[in-house]
Amino acid sequence: MKKLSTYTHARYCTDEVDLLAGLAEIEEAMKHCERMDKKIPNYFYVRKSKLKEKLKIVVTKGLKADEFRYRDHIFRAERQFKPHEDFGYIGRRLTRLTVYGWDWNEFWVCANIIKHENLSLKKADVFLMDRNVLIVPCENFLGKYTIE
């Protein structure tokens, strides 16, 4: 197994990108251990928890209680899809947004750090980006959601 980089140490991470890179590296190392049927070292769990704690501080710094930051944008969970919003309905109302470095897993790591009073917001489908644009996170892109 290759040696973990300094990004897996919370003290060496200076911003959100470093923290997310460290978390991704630890996740990959843990998956590698599982594939090789090796025991996952305890320090992996310790480093992962410290990175998540520091990410929580960085992501929520200067924001309202229900907001989080991802790639220099501010997001807030709005709601889940309504019963009449099926795949076709939603697909016709999405426009691709360009967000540099968009990653599905990193987005949800940041989103799940926030403690929501309403449990349905923890599983939100529609988010408000930068306090003015409704978006739907898709696996390969971020979609602007227009309601008519």
Clarify whether residues 33 and 73 are in a common domain.
no
* pLDDT tens digits, 64-83: 777 888 888 888 888 888 88
* pLDDT tens digits, 92-111: 888 888 777 788 888 888 88
Predicted model pTM: 0.66
* Number of domains the chain is built from: 2
User: In whole angstroms, what is the distance from residue 93 CA to residue 146 CA?
Assistant: 5
Convert 3-31 into a string of H (helix), E (strand) and C (coil): CCCHHHCHHHCCCHHHHHHHHHHHHHHHH
Clarify whether residues 138 and 83 are in a common domain.
yes
Clarify whether residues 110 and 136 are in a common domain.
yes
Q: What is the dihedral of CA 110, 113, 116, 122, to 10 degrees?
A: 60
Clarify whether residues 82 and 105 are in a common domain.
yes
Clarify whether residues 133 and 71 are in a common domain.
yes
Note whether residue 127 is domain-resident: yes
Note whether residue 71 is domain-resident: yes
Clarify whether residues 83 and 56 are in a common domain.
no
